[in-house]
Amino acid sequence: RRRIFGLLDLNLRGSGLFGGMKLDQRLREHLDGARFEDLPKPFVAVASEIRTGHEIWLSSGSLVTAMRASYALPGVFEPVACNGRVLVDGALVNPVPVSVCRAYEQPLVVAVNLHYDLFGRAAVIKHSAGELLVESDAPRPGHPNPQPHQTRLGITGVMVEAFNIIQDRISRARLAGDPPDMSLQPKLSHIGLTEFHRADEAITLGYQATKAQISELTRLQSVLV
């Protein structure tokens, strides 16, 4: 965890809590100037144009610039300037970009929905105002009941939780309108959006979710590919 936080450069005067330059440097060290054109298979990074709300598909040029734009969580990481546009996290408009794969005419589209168990299925819950706290103490699925001192969130926590709600609602709407051939739904609600040090755990859960669907995936490949 300490090593991860060492990559986050605090930037109180900018348009994001973290400048992102340390992560940029680390990515450049590992990717060594790689470009989309160098990749063995097609790859598209999705970003959002903060001034217009347009969904931007990045499929050529610097891989590091595209990756930074696609994970630039508004308010947390600085937006990325690219060809006259100001880009932020693509999940703001398209968290599960099935439409991108369809546009590139892929015969089999497998979506990975990371927000499946973040919140309950009910979109509306009736509640009496007299029973409310400043922040709700209702637990999310997979989360234990919080103690009273845990109901308060910091600024970053509020931004992240708000972004999670947006992603959850948009994901449901986009997947309903443009469903994939298969959807993998690893249960990750207990791992926070900024808990990068738990990457190995998240990868293991993703592997397990995929393994559980491997027979269906094989069947779809034989039919569609």
The number of residues making up the chain comes to: 225
Predicted confidence (pLDDT) at residue 219 exceeds the cutoff of 90: yes
Closest CA to 113 of 58, 172, 60: 172
Lowest mean pLDDT among 17-31, 86-100, 138-152: 138-152
Give the per-residue pLDDT at 70: 95
Give the per-residue pLDDT at 142: 54
DSSP codes joined into one string, 172-188: HHHHHHS--SEEE----
Predicted confidence (pLDDT) at residue 36 exceeds the cutoff of 90: yes
Q: What is the pTM of this model?
A: 0.75
Give the per-residue pLDDT at 205: 96
Give the per-residue pLDDT at 73: 86
Higher pLDDT, 21 or 205: 205
Closest CA to 205 of 97, 143, 113: 113
Give the per-residue pLDDT at 119: 60
Beta bridge partners of 18: 10, 77
Is residue 45 helix, strand or coil? strand
> What is the residue whose two structure tokens read 């959807």?
183
Predicted confidence (pLDDT) at residue 18 exceeds the cutoff of 60: yes
Q: How do the domains of the chain map onto residue ranges?
A: 1-93, 109-210
Give the per-residue pLDDT at 117: 76
- Opening angle at CA 26, ends 24 and 30, nearest 5: 115
12 contacts: CB under 8 Å, gap ≥ 6: none
Determine how many CB atoms are found less than 10 A away from the CB of residue 56.
21
Give the per-residue pLDDT at 148: 45
Cα separation, 85 vs 39, in Å, equals: 24
Compute the Cα dihedral for 179, 163, 196, 10 and give only its sign.
positive
Higher pLDDT, 186 or 76: 186
The CA-atom distances, in angstroms, between 105 and each of 102, 181, 225 are 5, 13, 12
